[in-house]
A and B are shown apart, each in its own frame.
Chain A
Amino acid sequence: MSASDPSLLLLGAALVSATPILYAALGELLIERAGVLNLGIEGTMLVGAVAAFMVAHGTGSGLAGMGCAVLAAAAFGGLFAALVVGLRLNQVVTGLAMTILGSGLSAFLGQSYVGLTLGEAGAASAAASGVYVAAALACAVIAALFLRHTRPGLLLRTLGENPAALDALGLPVVPLRGLYVVLGSGLIGLGGAFISVVLTPSWIENMTAGRGWIALALVIFARWRPLWIVAGAILFGLIDAYRFRAQVGGASWIDPHFLNMLPYVATLVVLGLQSRRPAQGAGTPTLLGVAYDRERR
């Protein structure tokens, strides 16, 4: 097989286009495993994307951009955590508000960057795209090992399912949940940064174009397991790459809109199949979206 083998090229393209979703889904996985439903993924990704582009443009370093994206998105996640974990606001409503905030904030901060390019930094980042892709895969493996083989991972699994059990053992439920929201948001921001620094590289308003929602679907599709997220992301990346080729090449046996529906339809099917079996053991955080309140039972 040579490097120009079409199927290998397709797989490579699939991996690259899957990477932002992979980062975002892994971040969301951490947050949901901790029992918090974060609907602000799209906003968090945008914050990451604009922070990365601004810093990369200013410093000429793609890596610095990525780093700052993680910090900015983590801070954004910190606000979300303060609202839903600290103040126990409704997670669905607050998540939607965070989507609006992220979209507005990134558009506002990035207005003078529209139409600019990263020049050399962009070229260097694009050349290093393999590293970021590999790092995303590594993150998934680390997350899987963390959940399965470490004590903090055990606590994380318990956090979304039976926080009262942790509380009874004297372990801090609220700080731990906050921590995972912040960490997960950082990863989500990295997904956004990958789009603006490596994939395009440029900044446009709302450039994540719904990838956050696909990431959310992917977490459910993967039934909250990191390695399945990799499989799902590659699958969706393949669909994406195929669609792109079909658009360039002209004829396609199916309209691309229907291909784009696939992630959501597949997620619904998985949800349906799962509801027929006992939820236990599936890794589903059964208390997803419920604020922990010791006095209520």
Chain B
Amino acid sequence: MNAGFPIPLQVNGATAPLCRLQGVTKSFGKLVANDDVSFSVMPGEVVALLGENGAGKSTAMNVLCGLYLPDAGTVEVDERPMALGSPAASVARGIGMVHQQFKLVPSLTAYENVSLAVDRGRVWQRRRPSDEVRRLMAEVGFDLDMGKPVWRMSLAERQQLEILRVLAQGARILILDEPTSVLSPLESERLFMLVRRIVARGRSVILISHKLSEIRQVASRLVVMRGGRVVFEGSAAGRSSEEIAGLIVGTRSVSLAARPASAPGPERLVVENLRVTGHSGRDSVHDVSFKVRGGELVAVVGVAGNGQAELLDAIGGQKPPSAGRIVASGSRKGRGFAFIPAQHLGVALAPGLSIEDNALLGVHRRKPFSVWLRRREVRRHCGRVQDTFGVVADPDSAIRRLSGGNLQRIVLGRELVGDPDLIVASYPTRGLDIAAAAQIRNALIARAAAGAAVLMASEELEECLAIATRILVMSGGRIVLDRATAQTSLNEIGRFMTAAEAS
């Protein structure tokens, strides 16, 4: 145990990298998730790994952890090549990852969880931490009651415990995957203090995050990925949030249908003083009010994790609001109100059922269906749903065999049947290939042009600027900007996205 101590202190002016990825390529079928990815991590530094969802960050980290075996490329630790595709080898060479879903056992105490990983070969279970673990706790400044069962710990405490466990296993390169997504601002602050102490002893941290202010606060170097490639690697010092946001998003020109241009119709959705409490007990949506009229296509944007997803879930009825009022022009059970959740499989679609069954989901209580589901009507309905966006597949085959694009085509096709007056879509183009994304966008534009009110959340600012008539920017759970697209710019949106954080 306790591999690799002590390490020469080379915080400044270090010569040799602690770890280096060289030409890592990994594809899943046709999708090239990592394309010739190379970057290195020096001892004692915090590297921020940035990129949109699907940019290839997780794939690169899973290669580093040994969970994925890359098609090509090497990983070197201490300038010696590491065996790839073996978690044990990665752990032995000092790489440890804190996943977003913690791998802790809730009924065991904090120490027992650490012990699972550390005390191999013992017979009697220690009741209290070994000296090594206690030394580590004192060194890095962990503040944990090791006798407490994990299920009684807060998320922040669990995260500390997971970090402690990874360090106790001898990790010198600690990967944190969106660590602050479950933390309050105060807890995030404490986490960063912890991170600084961890790297002070020559260990390194790779931080995956979407929150630009955090990155500016703690990272010493940036690695930005886009479309599976590393597009930027360099010092973080002196870079503004707008600059970083630009690096992440890049400049893309996507051919899009023009945004709907029609006189606003009647109010279809009114949200008043809405408040949604997140799972950590703090509000993820704060006192939000806005209206959407017919003919409008309103885009909700923001840095990931600032309440956009929760807001749309609350409007769609997936999450009960803790205060406030939502008035929609139709009901989800009747017709007129379509909701497209962010997750298809498991929420919008039942993965084990057929395409035909899924085409019916939520529609099955409307006309022409009754307590009897007549075979011919179901078949005809399924045909209509498939035809809306041209999904060619056997209606009896299992839905989970479809590609991501086709899954979204089925969901949208089903939700748009009956021409709803109000469409709420949570990240409808996320993870889709270009053709599918364009098809979905155009359908939303067409519905808005025909007089429906459309509210969508999106991560792609370019997309929003091109198709939305109005843009709502969320930050810290509040709407900080509500402006017609024609009267704003990418720069202004970027500034508001990061404004609340910077203050």
Contacts and interface: CB of A to CB of B under 8 A. Distances in A.
Is A–B contact present in the complex under a CB 8 A cutoff?
A: yes
Interface of A: 148-155, 157-158, 161-162, 164-166, 168-170, 278, 280-284
Contacts of B378: none
B9 interface: no
B418 to A, nearest CB: 35
A67 to B, nearest CB: 26
B137 interface: no
Interface in B88-136: 88, 103-108, 112, 115-117, 119, 122-125, 127
B369 interface: no
A135 B151 CA distance: 35
A168 B149 contact: no
Contacts of A152: 123
A164 B103 contact: yes
Q: How large is the interface on B (under 10, 10 to 19, 20 to 34, 35 or more residues)?
A: 20 to 34
Given A161-B106, A166-B116, A169-B116, 10 more contacts: A151-B123, A151-B125, A154-B108, A158-B105, A162-B105, A164-B103, A168-B103, A170-B88, A280-B107, A280-B149
Given A150-B123, A152-B123, A281-B152, A165 B87 contact: no
B115 to A, nearest CB: 7
Given A150-B123, A151-B124, A280-B151, A168 B87 contact: yes
A100 to B, nearest CB: 30
24 contacts: A150-B123, A151-B119, A151-B123, A153-B125, A154-B112, A154-B115, A154-B125, A157-B107, A158-B116, A162-B103, A162-B104, A162-B105, A164-B103, A165-B103, A165-B116, A168-B87, A169-B116, A170-B87, A170-B88, A280-B107, A280-B149, A281-B106, A283-B107, A284-B107
Q: Is the interface of A mostly helix, strand, loop or mixed?
A: helix
Interface in B122-165: 122-125, 127, 149-152
10 interchain residue pairs of minimum CB distance: A280-B151, A280-B106, A162-B105, A151-B122, A165-B103, A158-B105, A280-B107, A151-B125, A281-B107, A170-B88
A165 B125 contact: no
Given A149-B124, A151-B122, A153-B125, A169 B105 contact: no
Contacts of B150: 280
B104 A165 contact: yes
A169 B117 contact: yes
Contact of A158 (B87, B108, B151): B108
Contacts of A282: 107
Contacts of A161: 105-107
B99 to A, nearest CB: 9
A68 B74 CA distance: 56
Nearest to A163: B105
A162 B104 CA distance: 8
B465 to A, nearest CB: 38
Contacts of A151: 115, 119, 122-125
A281 B105 contact: no
A201 B150 CA distance: 49
A218 to B, nearest CB: 21
A77 B103 CA distance: 31
B468 to A, nearest CB: 36
B77 to A, nearest CB: 19
Contacts of B149: 280-281
Interface in B391-447: none
B107 A150 contact: no
Contacts of A284: 107
Nearest to B121: A151
A169 B92 CA distance: 12
B411 to A, nearest CB: 22
A170 B118 CA distance: 12
A205 B65 CA distance: 57
B433 to A, nearest CB: 25
Interface string B324-359: 000000000000000000000000000000000000
A150 B124 contact: yes
Contacts of B119: 151
A155 B106 CA distance: 14
Contacts of A162: 103-106
Contacts of A166: 116
Given A151-B123, A166-B116, A278 B105 contact: no
Contact of B125 (A149, A164, A170): A149
Nearest to A147: B125
